[in-house]
Amino acid sequence: MADPVIVLGAGMVGVCTALHLQQRGHAVTLVDRREPGRETSYGNAGIIQREAVEPYAFPRSWAMLARVAMKRGADVNYHLGALPALAGPLGRYWWNSRPASHRRIARDYARLIEHCLSEHAPLIEQAGAQDLVRREGFRAVFRDAASMRRAVADRHRVADEYGVRHAVLDSDQLAHAEPALRRRLAGAIHWLDPWSVSDPGELVARYAALLRQQGGRVLQGDAASLRATGAGWRVRTAEGDVDAPHAVVALGPWSDAVLRTLGYRYPLFVKRGYHRHYTGGEPPRLPMLDADGGLVIVPMRQGVRVTTGAEFARLDAPRTPVQMPRAHALASELFDLPNPVEPQPWMGARPCTADMLPVIGAAPRHKGLWFNFGHAHQGFTLGPVSGRLLAELVGGGTPVVDPAPYSPARFG
């Protein structure tokens, strides 16, 4: 039997890390303050994005920066008071978004993305979650013909470089494919490889149920109580203290708080986001990214989910009633969305790094401590492959990809 391991964080990344560790013979205790899949992994667009081979770069055009500065869209908002604390990480994010740097980062990013479907697939089957998954891709739609021409040219490049499949739909073809659209659009790019999930939180919950079925423990506890002991690590849970030689920090946007108590200062920041479900109208047939509006419209079990873009704010700052009304207004131009399901929008946060790559590997200064966080917009997509990579590093196995680009030591 391999060494026991504590995994902190029951989102997609943490649950998949626990599953892969368990499959390699470790006795695993998964610890979170809430039930699995109730935080960031619940609130995303539910797309396993095989096409997302290039991470989101910081805007570099003056027109886009001016639009962001004036808070004109549903895609970006910010709290002015949060910017001083964010200046350092955002400055490095901007620097790493230079074309040459971004191309290098994208190559390392794509090595993880290319395994997203093949690593989700066995877990979906083992967890009996096939009813949640559609394998028909999603569409990025365009209101403006000029923006579509630019996007199509760039997406042809991405498809050629990384081998992801897509189809271009003109205005008539899109109208035929999505008959519920209320207005004519310029067209769409249909990404054919991604899978969509009708309830992202439920998929995480089923993965966690699989962990329990195979003998893993899932406990409520306080990640901030993590402490080093003579023999490894200890965390406080509702069922008492849990000790293990190894501990994994997979806490998403809350990872930084735990790291700071241990003396680590990484260039991390959060992007907050909102969603709300609507019923009463005919939904889109496939998930839809409104590329010009900066929102996503997704048919889900709870209704049609409308998601916003990013909000730069403190993790614990009060919610801002700005982006969601804009997103709903823009989405309502495309589909009939009369009845909100929730009394107020859901809000969550994405954990981001200044170089756009996740942090996966051994803590530089603490024996038996491991990190798996910083997946930004793609924790739901990358949970299984990054969980496998981390488990292979813990056990000394041959890693599925070269782990060097994601090493916690890369920040010095």
What pLDDT does residue 397 have? 86
pLDDT at 64 over 90: no
pLDDT tens track for 2-35: 899 999 999 999 999 999 999 999 999 999 999 9
Is residue 387 located within the same domain as residue 337? no
Predicted local distance difference test score (pLDDT) of residue 87: 94
In this prediction, residues 66-74 reach a mean pLDDT of: 73
For residue 206, which of 127, 272, 145 has the smallest C-alpha distance? 127
Cα dihedral sign, 315-359-204-233 = negative
Residue 301 pLDDT greater than 90, yes or no: yes
Give the model confidence (pLDDT) of 328-385 as tens digits.
999 999 999 999 999 999 999 999 999 999 999 999 999 999 999 999 999 999 999 9
Shared domain for 178 and 283, answered yes or no, is yes
Q: Is residue 288 part of a domain?
A: yes
Q: Are residues 253 and 222 in the same domain?
A: yes
For the chain, the average pLDDT equals 96
Average pLDDT over residues 280-285: 96
| Residue 126 counted as domain residue | no
* 61 band by pLDDT with thresholds 50, 70 and 90: confident
323-357 in b/e form (b: 16+ CB < 10 A) is bbebbbebbbebbebeebeeeebbbbbbbbbbbbb
Instruction: Decide which of 309, 329, 353 is a domain's last residue.
Output: 353
Give me the residue label for tokens 């997103």.
Answer: 327
Residue 212 banded pLDDT, cuts 50, 70, 90: very high
Q: Copy the structure tokens of residue 226.
A: 């993590």
Residues in CB range of 194: below 8 A, 6 or more apart: 47, 48, 49, 50, 51, 137, 138
Q: Is the pTM of this model over 0.75?
A: yes
- What is the residue whose two structure tokens read 């401590």? 369
Q: What percent of the chain has pLDDT over 90?
A: 94
8 versus 74: the higher-pLDDT residue is: 8
What pLDDT does 1 receive? Answer: 66
Residues contacting 386, CB < 8 A, separation 6+: 13, 16, 17, 112, 358, 360, 372, 375, 406
Strand partners, 131: none
Q: Taking 90 as the threshold, does the pLDDT of residue 271 lie above it?
A: yes
215: CATH: 3.50.50.60
Answer whether residue 173 is part of any domain. yes
- pLDDT on residue 74: 80
SS3 of the chain: CEEEEEEECCCHHHHHHHHHHHHCCEEEEEEECCCCCCCCCCCCCCEECCCCCCCCCCCCCHHHHHHHHCCCCCCEEECHHHHHHHHHHHHHHHHHCCHHHHHHHHHHHHHHHCCHHHHHHHHHHHCCCHHHEECCCEEEEECCHHHHHHHHHHHHHHHHHHCCCEEEEEHHHHHHHCCCCCCCCCEEEEECCCEEECCHHHHHHHHHHHHHHCCCEEEEEEEEEEEEECCEEEEEECCEEEEECEEEECCHHHHHHHHHHCCCCCCEEEEEEEEEEEECCCCCCCCEEECCCCEEEEEECCEEEEECCEEECCCCCCCCCCHHHHHHHHHHHHCCCCEECCCCCEEEEEEEECCCCCEEEECCCCCCEEEEECCHHHHHHHHHHHHHHHHHHHHCCCCCCCCHHHCHHHHC
384 Cβ contact list (under 8 Å, min separation 6): 16, 20, 115, 116, 119, 120, 123
Range of the domain at 397: 2-41+202-267+355-411
Encode pLDDT of 150-193 as tens digits: 999 999 999 999 999 999 999 999 999 999 999 999 999 999 99
pLDDT surpasses 90 at 71: no
Please choose, from the candidates 46, 341, 375, the residue with its C-alpha nearest in 3D space to the C-alpha of residue 201.
46
Are 302 and 359 found together in one domain?
A: no
What is the rounded CA–CA span in Å between residue 66 and residue 68? 5
d(CA 140, CA 53): 15
Q: Is residue 100 part of a domain?
A: no
Whether residue 402 sits in one domain with residue 380:
yes
Q: Is residue 207 part of a domain?
A: yes
Nearby residues of 61 by Cβ (< 8 Å), 6 or more positions away: none
* Mean pLDDT across 265-282: 96
In percent, the amount of the chain with pLDDT more than 70 equals: 99
Mean pLDDT of 268-296: 97
Q: How many domains does the chain have?
A: 2
The answer to whether position 345 is within a domain reads yes
Would the pLDDT of 136 be above 80?
Answer: yes
What is the rounded CA–CA span in Å between residue 401 and residue 412?
Answer: 22
The number of C-alpha atoms within 13 Å of 296 and in the hemisphere containing its C-beta is 21
Query: Residues 212, 281: one domain?
Result: no
Residue 275 and residue 331 in one domain? yes
Answer yes or no: do 141 and 189 share one domain: yes
Confidence (pLDDT) at 65:
72
Report the pLDDT averaged over residues 76-102. Answer: 94
Between strands 76-78 and 310-312, the pairing is parallel
pLDDT at residue 60, rounded to an integer: 75
How many Å separate Cα 305 from the centre of its chain? 16
Instruction: Please check whether residues 391 and 309 belong to one and the same domain.
Output: no
Residue that terminates a domain, selected from 353, 377, 403: 353
Do residue 277 and residue 331 come from a single domain?
A: yes
Instruction: Answer yes or no: is 274 within a domain.
Output: yes
Task: Tell me if 87 is assigned to some domain.
Answer: no
Query: Do 335 and 273 lie in a common domain?
Result: yes
Within this chain, do residues 240 and 285 fall inside the same structural domain, yes or no? no
Out of 72-76, 84-88, 230-234, which region has the weakest mean confidence (pLDDT)?
72-76
Domain boundary among 353, 372, 391: 353
Q: Which two tokens stand for residue 343?
A: 């009394």
What CATH number is associated with residue 145?
Answer: 3.30.9.10
